[in-house]
Amino acid sequence: SNYDTDVFTPLPSKISAVSATAYGASEASDIAQRVIADHIRAVAFAIADGQLPASSGAGYVIRRILRRAIRYGFSYLNLKEPFMFKLVEVLEREMGEFFPELTAQRALVEKVIEEEENSFLKTLAQGLAKLEEFLASDDKVLDGQRAFELYDTYGFPIDLTELIMRENQRTVDMAGFTSEMTAQKERSRAATKLSTDDWVELEEDDVEEFVGYDYTEADVRITRYRKVSAKKKEFYQLVLSLTPFYPEGGGQIGDSGTLVQGDHTIHLTTTKKENGVIVHFTDDLPAELGGQWKATVNVADRNETAKNHSATHLMHEVLREVLGTHVEQKGSLVRPDYLRFDFSHFQKVSAEELATIETKVNERIQANYTLEEYRNIPIAEAKDMGAMALFGEKYGDTVRAIKFGSSVELCGGIHVPATGSIGLFKFISEGAVAAGVRRVEAVTGRGALDYVNAELAKLRAAAEVLKHPQDLASALQQLKEKEAAAQKEIDALRKEKAMGAVAELENGAEAFNGARAIVARTTLDAGSVKDLVFKLKATPGTLVILGNVVEGKVTLSIGVSDDLITDKGWHAGNAVRTLARHISGGGGGQPGFATAGGKNPDGIDKVLVEWKNEFS
């Protein structure tokens, strides 16, 4: 078979080594190894090409393939820890010569797969815990509602649920599961359903020309409209004879603005493209829609949006320059007030890297590169210019390219005439949104200035509080050191107080079942109580039970000396689980020490009476 060829055999060999299961050991394990070998190829090549696992679209297909392989390893090879990412090295060694993308992106591929494995294995662990609760019962059929809860709430695959039930001579009510799934889809559909009236055509016009690259005002006619109802809200959609309003696309939000005719004004809230037609949204319509209207774009918002969009292009180029060419855009949002950018990267962007990127973007802004716009050029010509095509975007035979200095991208959005118009660029956040995908948010222009001023105001306020306006960092360090010293002193005093209670507690000990039982209520902090329990139970033949109430918080601590564990089989963890019911709480631990927390302070008195039943 294909799996016996030189191309494939290194993968099963590695899988055998990782799983400690020889190929040929059993039909089930052989099938699992072949599935894993096949699936790692598909997943690794897709990620190297830029398609990351996701919860929808093509990314969901990749996630499903990867999770199927993980499930085979989990179920048939007893692989309970991430293992798929370890196979990328072998795959790259065998195929890297023919697929250089795999070599270039190997670190990213490994990181993404490992993070996906960790996430899914946690899901499996949660689901298995729920299934174990069911398997502890005498029921033979897992009802559809519980099976669907596992699938919907915990992400536990239904086929794995069926497999586990089958292995334990149980079954799943699949009819009930399907019914729950159908009901969920109906609820989801109802929540997102749009009710649209038919289009009302006012005049014939097959062509709706977009003039927004050159104009922010235009004389237009309304050619058709319709009413839309969604979530108890009604609004209207309009189609114009021509439009200066940019429709939402490429991450940039749609333009807002007005249509004016005499005393009548239609306020447009946004603009989108639906089935190739530019549609304008408004909450209200006048009775008469005929005739000519003056269309005016909200220029203030558009200009701020343009700054953020052009800054996004500059930042994209710098991200690749600083972090590496593996960086690819995975999503963006461009608004008047800020920009958001998702990109492929396998680790947190450090503060130093962010500072470098920010500086380089601002250098390009200060260089005041003039916008070079290339409309309706062949896509091959654009690529020859070095234009970046964004993964997942669909392009026609002709495209629009935007160039600022060395930054060239295929883009249909609105941009500044020169980078100097952006003014200032400032990051406001960086974080993870998915395995192998980072997100940055930034502000430009007036927004960046407002952000800087707000941060400086915080620093000034902190400096005034600390009375060190010139050396805030040093003042904070001194404060931190003083706090640490004070905490150390407090801890020492608490420990001294706790140890001072040893004699008093020992004097109150009672003989019980051949042991020394120290049972009492205290008001010490949790850390001191633990130290006290260990101090007391160090004496052979000692059982310690301390009920503690501090500021309304109830804790129960039990300690058992080692000899009592061996000779009498006493178990602090088992006892605390039972006694915790009296304080409306729960807990657990080891045979020698266990704790529980609760909500009922009055229950401590019950514990101090009932404890003997647990150690009889």
Cβ atoms 596, 555 nearer than 8 A? yes
Report the distance separating Cα 177 and Cα 141, nearest Å. Answer: 12
- Write out the two tokens for 219: 């004389």
Element spanning 349, H or E? none
Where does CATH 3.30.980.10 sit in the chain?
A: 303-453
Q: What is the largest CA-CA distance in the chain?
A: 102
Reported confidence tier of residue 151, pLDDT bands at 50, 70, 90: confident
Where does CATH 2.40.30.130 sit in the chain?
A: 196-297
Report the distance separating Cα 583 and Cα 595, nearest Å. Answer: 12
Query: Residue 39's pLDDT is what?
Result: 95
Instruction: Give, rounded to a whole angstrom, the gap between the first and last alpha carbons of the chain.
Output: 66
Other C-beta atoms lying within 10 Å of the C-beta of residue 393: 13
- The yes-or-no verdict on residue 282 having pLDDT over 90 is yes
pLDDT digits (tens, 9 = 90+) for 36-90: 999 999 999 998 887 888 777 788 889 889 988 998 998 889 898 999 999 999 9
- The yes-or-no verdict on residue 545 having pLDDT over 90 is yes
- The yes-or-no verdict on residue 429 having pLDDT over 70 is yes
For domain 196-297, the CATH class is: mainly beta
Report the distance separating Cα 72 and Cα 399, nearest Å. Answer: 45
Q: Which residue has the tokens 């008093």?
A: 504
Query: Residue 300's pLDDT is what?
Result: 97
Query: Residue 420's pLDDT is what?
Result: 97
DSSP 257: E
- The yes-or-no verdict on residue 552 having pLDDT over 90 is no
pLDDT digits (tens, 9 = 90+) for 18-38: 988 888 888 888 899 999 999
Reported confidence tier of residue 438, pLDDT bands at 50, 70, 90: very high
Query: Residue 248's pLDDT is what?
Result: 96
Q: Which residue has the tokens 């490429």?
A: 250
Distances (CA, A) of 84 to 49, 54, 87, 553: 18, 17, 6, 45
pLDDT digits (tens, 9 = 90+) for 486-511: 888 877 777 777 677 888 888 889 99
Query: Residue 4's pLDDT is what?
Result: 57
- The yes-or-no verdict on residue 297 having pLDDT over 90 is yes
Q: According to DSSP H, which parts of 467-611 are helical?
A: 472-507, 526-537, 562-568, 572-579, 603-610
Query: Residue 558's pLDDT is what?
Result: 94
Where does CATH 3.10.310.40 sit in the chain?
A: 497-614
Greater model confidence, 141 or 124: 141
Reported confidence tier of residue 391, pLDDT bands at 50, 70, 90: low
Q: How far is CA 144 from the centre of its chain?
A: 29
Q: What is the dihedral of CA 512, 514, 515, 516, to 10 degrees?
A: 60
Nearest to 343 by CA among 307, 382, 317, 304: 317
Cβ atoms 518, 509 nearer than 8 A? yes
Query: Residue 551's pLDDT is what?
Result: 80
Most confident of 310-314, 492-496, 579-583: 310-314
Query: Residue 92's pLDDT is what?
Result: 92
Reported confidence tier of residue 392, pLDDT bands at 50, 70, 90: low
Reported confidence tier of residue 8, pLDDT bands at 50, 70, 90: low
Query: Residue 222's pLDDT is what?
Result: 95
Query: Residue 216's pLDDT is what?
Result: 98
Query: Residue 190's pLDDT is what?
Result: 63
Mean pLDDT, rounded, of the chain = 89
Reported confidence tier of residue 1, pLDDT bands at 50, 70, 90: low
Within 8 A by CB and 6+ apart from 455, the residues are none
Cβ atoms 268, 278 nearer than 8 A? no
Query: Residue 233's pLDDT is what?
Result: 85
Measured in degrees and rounded to the nearest 5, phi and psi for residue 523 equal -130, 30
- The pLDDT of 551-566, averaged and rounded, is 91
Query: Residue 408's pLDDT is what?
Result: 96
Query: Residue 479's pLDDT is what?
Result: 80
pLDDT digits (tens, 9 = 90+) for 152-191: 887 787 888 888 888 889 999 999 999 999 888 887 766 5
Query: Residue 192's pLDDT is what?
Result: 55
- The yes-or-no verdict on residue 296 having pLDDT over 80 is yes
Give DSSP secondary structure letters for 80-118.
Answer: -S--GGGGHHHHHHHHTTT-HHHHHTHHHHHHHHHHHHH
Reported confidence tier of residue 341, pLDDT bands at 50, 70, 90: very high
> Regarding the domain delimited by 497-614, which CATH topology (the fold level of the hierarchy) does it fall under?
Diaminopimelate Epimerase; Chain A, domain 1 (3.10.310)
**Rounded to two decimals, what is the model's pTM?**
0.66
> If one looks up domain 303-453 in CATH, what number appears?
3.30.980.10
Reported confidence tier of residue 3, pLDDT bands at 50, 70, 90: low
Greater model confidence, 356 or 275: 356
Query: Residue 559's pLDDT is what?
Result: 94
- The pLDDT of 319-335, averaged and rounded, is 92
- The yes-or-no verdict on residue 231 having pLDDT over 80 is no
Cβ atoms 62, 43 nearer than 8 A? yes
- The yes-or-no verdict on residue 5 having pLDDT over 60 is no
Query: Residue 393's pLDDT is what?
Result: 67
